[in-house]
Amino acid sequence: MASLNSELETKVEIYNNANYQLSKIESSIEENQAKLDATSVKLGEMQDRLETRIVKIYRNGSVNMLDVLMETSDLNEFLTKFDMLTKVGEQDRDDLDQVKMLKEQVEQARTQLASDKATQSTLVDQLSTEKADIESGLAQRQQMLTGIEGEIAQLQAQEQAAALQAQQAAAASESSGGGGGGGFVGPAHPSTSGGAVGIAMQYLGVPYVWGGADPSGFDCSGLVMYVYAQMGISLPHGATAQYSAGTPIDYSDLQPGDLVFFGSGGGYMSHVGIYIGGGSMIHAPFEGTVVQVGSVSSGGSFRGACRL
């Protein structure tokens, strides 16, 4: 079951990353389409202007410098006409160069647009495949769980009863004057804890939902994205892209609010959590669980950490 959960979480993050890449490609397509439209309009205007000039020259006949010299008796008049003809020639050359440049820009935009649309098609196919794999894995997981829910519930009840007995024993020891011990100190309550940790703690118990990114349900990167959005920091929905958005840090430098990442290799991070201190993190583990506090060591193969 643990192996299947890890596999599903990896697929979810691959799906999230592909979805993020698709959104970037779609923005690029929109941008290049606008550029193509604007450049095409400008090209049309320049071509019309150049064509009008060519027709005018054809109808009136070209004027050469010898004709100007023979028809001019005054040096100043000749220089004035010479300057005018030179400027007209330069304008014609500028217009022609502009048309050539705009044509190249149109072709570049069309080529980029075709490339982006091909990438978009590939990503859409990838998303469809990943989604089908995730849904198949969820069905397999549910099939594995069928028939053992009762046993799981019984074990959970036993654990809760044991925890309650331990709390009662500790309370009795304190009331009788027993010495106070040390041990793990959990994260501060949201009302006194600032930053990402305090915000994230408000969503303890929210169910895991793959692709989820709001308080009705979170996946691991969706939780991180939502928490940091409350702090005015925009992050993509995907562990791999979130790692790239921060500054890498060593495990020994971790501070509350830093992000910790996990994966089994390859180019993708398969899981992410928010470090809260004491070797613990808050995260949304996998389907069937809720947002919870757990040890960093329970997240899988540690791949790195970053600070935003």
Among candidate residues 189, 237, 271, 306, the one labeled active-site is 271
- Please tell me the distance from the alpha carbon of residue 78 to that of residue 68, in angstroms, as a whole number: 7
- Residue that has been written with the tokens 């989820």 in this structure: 212
Q: Has 220 been annotated as catalytic?
A: yes
Q: How far is CA 165 from CA 2, 139, 171, 266, in A?
A: 29, 37, 10, 45
Question: Number of C-alpha atoms within 13 angstroms, CB side, residue 235?
Answer: 30
Dihedrals φ, ψ of 219, to 5°?
-100, 180
Residues 101 and 32: their CA atoms lie apart, in Å, by: 17
The one-letter amino acid at 77 = E
Catalytic residue among 189, 237, 283, 306: 283
Known active-site residue 237: no
306 is catalytic: no
Q: Which two tokens stand for residue 233?
A: 């920091």
The angle at the Cα of 261, spanning 217 to 248, to the nearest 5 degrees, equals: 125
Rounded to whole angstroms, how far apart are CA atoms 167 and 184? 15
Helices 220-229 and 2-60 cross at an angle (nearest 10°) of 60
User: CB of 221 within 8 A of CB of 239?
Assistant: yes
Residue linked to tokens 């793959």: 210
**Cβ partners under 8 Å of residue 243, min gap 6:** 259, 261, 269, 272, 303, 304, 306
Q: Which sequence positions are flagged as catalytic?
A: 220, 271, 283
